Structure formats: C-alpha cells, structure tokens
Amino acid sequence: MSVVAPDRSSRQAFSGFGVSAESNQIEKLEQDIVFHYWAPVSRVSPVKRFAELSATWRSETALFSSALQMATHPAYQEIIGMGKEALPLILRELEVQPAHWFWALRSISGENPIAPAIRGKFSDMTKAWLDWGRQRGYLE
C-alpha cells in the first residue's frame, strides 16, 4: 500500500470561516505537524541525501591534494555517518563515476580489500572495492 502525504492546500481552503483567530492558529499548527510528519526534511530518502552530499563533496574538494582532506570534508563525514546504508550507494557511484571513496568504504565496512601490491593504484583499488561489493551483495 502506498502512503501519500496529505494535501495541505485543500485543507487550508476550508479553514477560517466562523472560527476565532486562535482556532485558526491551532488548526494551522496541527496541519503543519501532520504535513511535517509525512514530509520532514530529516526523512529525505538515503538516495537523494547521498546524491546531494556527494555532489557537494565533489565540488568542494576538487582541488584537494590528499584523501585525508577529502575524507574530513563535512559532506563526506556525513556520508560515513549514514553507515552501511551508504555502502551500495557509494559502490554504485564508484562504478559509474570513480572518485576517492576508499576511505569511506574502509571506515564503514571495517574491511580492506586493497592488497599491498595495488596500494595507491586507483584503477586497481576501484576494481578491488567493486569486487568486494559484489561478493558481499552490495552490488549486482
């Protein structure tokens, strides 16, 4: 069953007739509570949230010379804070538009598929993490 947020405008169209200003204010508050229950900023979908954070991170770290600088950017930290929910999103992004997601993948998963022989080799590191993601079922 799909759930649809209430139509705010139609409800407001009936308010305000023969009731006090206080009642209108209370009704408005009640409408806001109901509306924000269904569509709060804090409950943006993980996919949308990740996309926004990723875009911010890319644009604001485009010239950073170290993965440390990139990883300590607030948007990147927020993605790490999403936990395992972010793993498939990061891996999909790594597959389509490779970037330095290795720090986040290691931080969230606690694993490190990078063999000493491929340390720093971006393409090999990317492949190692994508293979890891497929083996763990995070990627198809």
Partner 1 sequence: MNPLEAAFPNLAQAGYAITSPATPDYNCIAWAARDASAWWEPDPYGQYFWPAKVQRAYTLGSYEQAYVTLGYGRCPDGSLEAGFEKVAIFADTKGIPTHAARQLPSGKWTSKLGPNVDIEHGEVQGVEGPDYGSVAIFMRRPAP
Residues contributing to the site for partner 1 (CB under 8 A): 61-70, 98-100, 102-103, 106, 112, 114, 116, 119-123, 125
CB neighbourhood size of 43 (10 A): 11
Least distance between partner 1 and beta carbon 53 (Å): 17
Q: 105 and 120 in contact (C-beta within 8 Å)?
A: no
Residue closer to partner 1 by CB (options 53, 126) is 126
Return the SS3 of 99.
coil
Cβ contact 32:39 at 8 Å: no
Helix 87-96 × helix 122-135 angle, to 10°: 140
> Angle 87-96/46-60 helices, nearest 10 degrees?
50
Q: How many residues does the chain have?
A: 140
Smallest distance from the beta carbon of 107 to partner 1, in angstroms? 8
Considering the complex, what minimum distance in angstroms separates the CB of residue 10 from partner 1?
Answer: 46
Q: Which is nearer to partner 1, 21 or 62 (CB)?
A: 62
Our CB check for partner 1 shows the closer of 89 and 94 to be 94
Residue 50 or residue 126: which is nearer to partner 1 going by CB? 126
Measured from the CB of residue 130, what is the shortest distance to partner 1 in angstroms?
14
